[in-house]
Structure 1
Amino acid sequence: MAPASGSSLYPRNTLKRIIRAHANRTLSKNVDILIFLDYTLFLQDLIREASIRSKRDGERGISARSVRRVRDMSLRKFKG
């Protein structure tokens, strides 16, 4: 379901405030959007790899164990 007109998928101002608190440099105007998109790509990759791993191990669905097994590999892919 698409968000209502004028609303966003996440609170932009809150995310920008968190990013500014942790960054010691100037940020571009849309850095929050780029970070959100990178985060969603990371989650998508994590779930895909966990699904592959659980099927290969003969599990019926994705378990926390299968996510933990692929977590480090996915984190390495998205390290900046």
Structure 2
Amino acid sequence: MAPATTHYPRATVKRIVKAHTNRPLSKNADIAIWLDYTLFLQDLLRKAAITSKQAGEKGVSAKSIRKVRENSLRKFKG
């Protein structure tokens, strides 16, 4: 069986988190961090798409993302 491939840079995520926290990470903490990050982006884009459609825009714009950014950040704060 072929080894499992990751869909994100594990070493990079671990290095960034260690640099910001100065604390050791558990073995799979980077997976939880990456999943939370992807869920945040998915939520942000979904809400921005709804906001842009309500405003009558053809696509998602930076303006619609800025409108929903604070709400999504609060939801995923921790």
- Please classify the TM superposition score into its range, dividing by the shorter chain length: 0.7 to 0.9
Moved over 4 A (4+): none
**Structure 1 counterpart of 2:49, from 48, 51, 61:** 51
Aligned counterpart, 2:67 = 69
Aligned-pair CA distance for 1:7 = 2.6
Tell whether the 8 Å contact from 2:13 to 2:30 is kept in structure 1 after alignment.
Answer: yes
Question: CA RMSD, aligned part only?
Answer: 1.6
TM-score (ref. length: structure 1): 0.85
TM-score (ref. length: structure 2): 0.87
Provide the aligned length of Structure 1 versus Structure 2.
Answer: 77
For residue 18 of structure 2, what is the amino acid of its counterpart?
Answer: R
**Structure 2 counterpart of 1:24, from 22, 28, 35:** 22
Aligned counterpart, 1:8 = 6
For 2:38 and 2:71, locate their aligned partners in 1 and report how far apart those are by CA, in whole Å: 16
For residue 46 of structure 1, what is the amino acid of its counterpart?
Answer: L
Structure 2: which 5+ runs fail to align? none
Aligned counterpart, 1:42 = 40
For 2:25 and 2:9, locate their aligned partners in 1 and report how far apart those are by CA, in whole Å: 17
For 2:27 and 2:35, locate their aligned partners in 1 and report how far apart those are by CA, in whole Å: 15
